[in-house]
Chains A and B, each alone.
Chain A
Amino acid sequence: MSQYDVINTRAPRLDAADKATGRAVFVDDMKMPGMLYGALLQSPHAHAKILSIDTSQALKLPGVKAVVTHKEAGAVKYGVSPARYDETLFCVDKARYVGDEIAAVAAVDLETALEAVSLIKVDYEELPAVFTVDDAIKEGAPQLHDEYPGNICAEVHQEFGDVKSGFAESDLIKTTIFKNKRQDAGFIEPQGCLAHYDRSGRLTLYSSTQVPHYVQRTVAMVLGLPIGKVRVVKPYVGAGFGIKAAANPMEMAACLLSMKTGKPVKMSFTRKQVFMYGRARHQFVHKLTTGVKKDGTIMALEHEAWLDGGAYASFGIATVYYSGSLLGGPYKLPHMKYDGYRVYNNKPACGAQRGHGGVAARAAWEQQLDMIAEELHIDPIELRLKNMMVTGDVTCNDLNMSSLGMKECIEAVREKSDWDGKKGKLPEGKGIGMACGFFVSGAGYPIYRSDTYHGTVIVKLTEDGGNAIVYTASAEIGQGSDTTFGMIAAEALGISLDNVRVVSGDTDFGIDLGAYSSRQTLMTGHATKEAAESAKNQVLKVLSDELNIPVDEMDVKNNRIVFKNGPADFSALRTRYLKEHRGWTDHPTEDHLTFNEAARIAYLAKGSIVGTGKYKPPVLGGKFKGAAVGTSPAYGCSAQITEVTVDMKTGQITVDNVTGAHDCGLAINKTSVEAQMEGSVSMGLGEALFEEVKFDDKGNVINCDLAEYKIATALDMPQITPVIIETNEPNGPFGAKEVGEGAIMPVIPAILNAVYDAIGKRIFELPLSAERVFFAMNKKDKE
């Protein structure tokens, strides 16, 4: 039995009924009196000088209320990392991809706004464009940004230990090159927003975002507003997966249009615009050279990565660092060298997506480790166990594995999947494969340099004493964070989840860096726990004064006050409580003092009882350049074993089942942990088998809808057996850490390794389409 009353259970989500009944309000469900509709004019050219913009015809169209371009917006540079602010709200001198924002219109209805957009005349001078890494880095290639010559957005050069000596001590050195494809996050709710600038000069932006705080800062910075006048509110959000983790130009355009018109302005991306805007997983090319001893001991890794970045930096600086740093674990690795390059070109920018920066690198390496195991005649699981880090280990790039249940994960999936009974024993066309991975439980540092808290939380007890309200600016985007914080608050207060309400996603409630880097459970969780404990202690302090019992001799559990040293005489308090409730039919009659009574008494003594909490990680990481990226207070980790069937005639792959184990520290909500694991499998499976954003030779996305860009349907998904492995993370609230992204890490390589087991041929490029698998198999036949 768990020592906890609320957490570590399968409590239904707090938002479940609203979502099952259609009551949950998403931004496009909102409407305001006098609301206008906005639309964007986006560049039809991948690379073009803007000679002139004529908005006069658009402005004349009846129903049009405002047209804005860079003239109205200004040219404040923004982006994700302050080190690479390379975007302006609207193009000033040139457009750098098909979709780059040129202007925006607000009108009385969407039809009028769209018609007005078509009436804006832009005189373009087309420029030569580049669409691949190889073309972009050629001598004399068209340059996207004057400030970043050679189209190099960022490069990273790191060496930990001495890879040369590591290779010198190795018996086997293996090099492979691996390539994934640009992904789309495929969230079902397109980005949307509703901006309202009121006559007192306050701006409220409702947006489908993962990061109200960063959006608030970016909007204020770009539009030149005092940050205190900008409020960002996140209604329910139809998921984000990283793409909604930064301010987008539509949000800022809506704000500007609202400022110009004094009316609320609503804007939404169409599905095509979601694809045009991009910002999802990069295409990576990873060249990995690994040295091992005969017994399988990993000695050194040399890693070169090329990231196809698109037109702007977006999250790319962090991506190119993550791509290297996330191979520092979970295996003991004494020597690691990393050279990473992120290259600009005239496609939409890539950014962060679930498993940020690490997914393709992990796939590449876990496949290579399997190849090494085979050459050394070692079972792939044994090779991994031999090299696995344990709790307390620190990677060569200074990532501290303060808890690591990796071995437990591996043992669990080995047993549950019957690996020993199947590996090497399946017929042709059937295969089994395994892989491991890990991920941060929140980035160790904010995106902008600051000593800010990463999360602040307010827990207020209702004045009647009966309930607690958790106020947090964190972002519930589907992962279940509201429920997590409700459970943490209830546990810390000693009351039931029914008595807790969570209000979130509003910058008025404080600072929270938002839903990215799998940070909220640990970071916002800490702040929630601290706030709830503070509120509880304030109640106990009043009781202590009233009853003359020291605070530390009391506690709250199951909605009642616990007197640790035997019963206390609280009759005077009850009498006061009952006097206030003459005529009520639900008087407390229990032989214990209820929390409700105690909290009411505390209110009568002190006024509203408000507890506050805050969290920021300690100083983490090494001293080298880029040491911050990859640091985290804790790391979650995963192992998966996957079985596939490959049609030996067509190359068509069916994933039959996935057995996955994830170490999430203590599971606050077990059902939600499983749900994250299952969702991770679906995103990884899609990327492994069919997802690829494709372009024509002019830079247009050609599969910009959910029919041609395939994501997994219910029929594509295998049976998933999720296993929760619980370690006690010392840096996590109640021992909790991440699950949202670590669980995607093994998905692709486990499939790659299973496909090899089925067909006897390695494939080094995604997706594993039937065509690619077919050609790989036929190549084998010729040999």
Chain B
Amino acid sequence: MKQIIHLTINGKAYEVAVKPNQTLVDLIRYDLGLTGTKKGCEVGDCGSCTVILNGKAVNSCLVLAMEADGCDITTIEGLETEEGLHPLQQAFVEKQGAQCGFCTPGMILSAKSLLDKNPKPSEHEIRKAISGNLCRCTGYAKIVTSIQAAAEELAK
């Protein structure tokens, strides 16, 4: 039976009816239409569904929508402001952090979660932070470079 939950996504409050077996990623993508969050495996292996939930990067395919009741969530759509792209997004544009782009939203959110807590990460810390986000295109080289560039920009 569906149940009403309340959650905040990208600063906007939602009241939605969700099924007990519905995952957060399906709620975000299919019910709320925030399709920037991707679905690559549905079992928490690939990281393309990463969102930031209460300050922590999580695989939204491993969270039941009901568990997100009362939570504060940031998806890729929540990073831009009226001023433009978030520095991480800008860095991914400039340093070619994306190829096919399917892992990119999750990658950027894992990086944001890292930089929020650790503004000056080492390269190893960056690699560790995105090690749950699989990318088959880039060899991660330009992703790491993008995150480093964003960290520098944010530190200014």
Give me the interface of A with B, judged by CB distance under 8 Å: 12-13, 15-26, 28-29, 185-190, 236-239, 241, 270-271, 477-480, 671-672, 674-675, 678-683, 705-707, 711-715, 717, 720
B103 at the interface (CB under 8 A from A): yes
Does B36 lie within 8 Å of A241, measured CB to CB? no
List of B residues within 8 angstroms of A679 by Cβ: 99, 136-139
Which residue of B is nearest A680, CB measured?
B139
Cβ contacts under 8 Å, B132 to chain A = 713
Question: What A residues does B141 contact at CB under 8 A?
Answer: 674-675, 678, 717, 720
A17 contacts B139, CB within 8 Å? no
A281 vs chain B, min Cβ distance (A) = 13
B99 and A29 form a contact (CB under 8 A)? no
Interchain Cβ contacts under 8 Å between A and B, 18 examples: A19-B92, A19-B101, A20-B89, A21-B76, A188-B38, A188-B40, A241-B136, A270-B42, A478-B99, A478-B137, A679-B99, A705-B43, A706-B134, A707-B43, A712-B140, A714-B128, A714-B133, A714-B140
The reply to whether B100 and A682 form a contact with Cβ atoms under 8 Å apart is no
| Given contact pairs A239-B137, A678-B139, A271 touches B101 in the complex (Cβ within 8 A) | no
Chain B neighbourhood of A190, CB < 8 A: 40
> Are B93 and A12 within 8 A (Cβ)?
yes
Q: Least Cβ distance of B79 to chain A in Å?
A: 7
CB distance from A361 to the nearest CB of B (A): 23
- When distances are taken between beta carbons in the complex, the residues of chain A under 8 Å from B138 are 675, 678-679, 682
Q: How many residues of B contact A (CB 8 A)?
A: 56
A341 to B38, CA, bound (A): 40
Partner of A26, one of B96, B99, B102, B140: B102
CB of B127 within 8 Å of the partner chain? yes
Q: Which 7 A-B pairs have the closest CB atoms?
A: A22-B36, A478-B100, A19-B101, A238-B102, A682-B139, A29-B35, A678-B139
Query: Contacts A187-B100, A706-B41: A21 and B36 contacting too (C-beta < 8 A)?
Result: yes
Question: Contact: A239 with B139, CB < 8 Å?
Answer: no
Contact code string B87-125 (vs A, CB < 8 Å = 1, else 0):
011101111111111111100100000000000000000
A17 CA / B75 CA spacing, docked (Å): 16
The reply to whether B41 and A236 contact each other, CB–CB distance below 8 Å, is no
What are the residues of chain B within 8 A of A236 when measuring CB–CB?
A: 100-102
- The residues of B that contact A714 with a CB separation of less than 8 Å are 126-128, 130-131, 133, 135, 140, 143-144
Q: Is the CB of A17 within 8 A of B93?
A: yes
Name the B residues within 8 Å of A480 (CB-CB).
Answer: 96, 99
B64 to chain A, nearest CB (A): 16
Which residues on B are within 8 Å of A, measured CB to CB? 29, 34-43, 45-46, 48, 75-77, 79-80, 85, 88-90, 92-105, 108, 126-128, 130-144
B134 and A188 within 8 A (CB) = yes
Q: Say whether A681 contacts B85, CB under 8 Å.
A: no
User: What CA separation (Å) do A401 and B92 show in the bound complex?
Assistant: 37
Is the beta-carbon distance between B108 and A188 smaller than 8 angstroms? no
Q: How far is the CB of B16 from chain A (nearest CB, A)?
A: 17
* Residues of the B chain whose Cβ atoms lie less than 8 Å from the Cβ of A187: 100, 102, 136
A271 near B137 (CB under 8 angstroms)? Answer: no
| B38 contacts A713, C-beta separation under 8 Å | no
The answer to whether A675 and B96 have CB atoms under 8 Å apart is yes
Smallest Cβ-Cβ distance to B133: which chain A residue: A714
Of the listed residues A15, A20, A270, A713, the one surrounded by the most CB atoms of chain B closer than 10 A to its CB is A20
Q: How far is the CB of A514 from chain B (nearest CB, A)?
A: 15
| Given known A17-B89, A189-B40, A236-B100, contact A22–B140 (CB-CB < 8 A) | no
Question: Which of A19, A270, A706, A715 is close to B131, meaning CB atoms less than 8 Å apart?
Answer: A715
In the bound complex, CA of A241 to CA of B94 (Å)? 25
Q: CB < 8 Å: which of A189, A270, A678 contacts B100? A: A189
Q: Chain A residue with minimal CB distance to B123?
A: A719
Select which of B48, B101, B131 is within 8 A of A18 by beta carbon.
B101
Contact, CB under 8 Å: A479 / B99 = yes
Judging by beta carbons under 8 Å apart, are A185 and B89 in contact? no
Complex Cα gap A681–B140 (Å) = 10
Q: How far is the CA of A21 from the CA of B139 in the complex (A)?
A: 21
Complex alpha-carbon distance, A479 and B142, angstroms = 14
User: How far is it, in angstroms, between the C-alpha of A187 and the C-alpha of B102 when the chains are bound?
Assistant: 9
Beyond A239-B100, A270-B42, is A185–B136 a contact (Cβ under 8 Å)?
Answer: yes
* CB <8 Å contact, A21 and B89: yes
Contacts of B108 in A (CB 8 A): 20
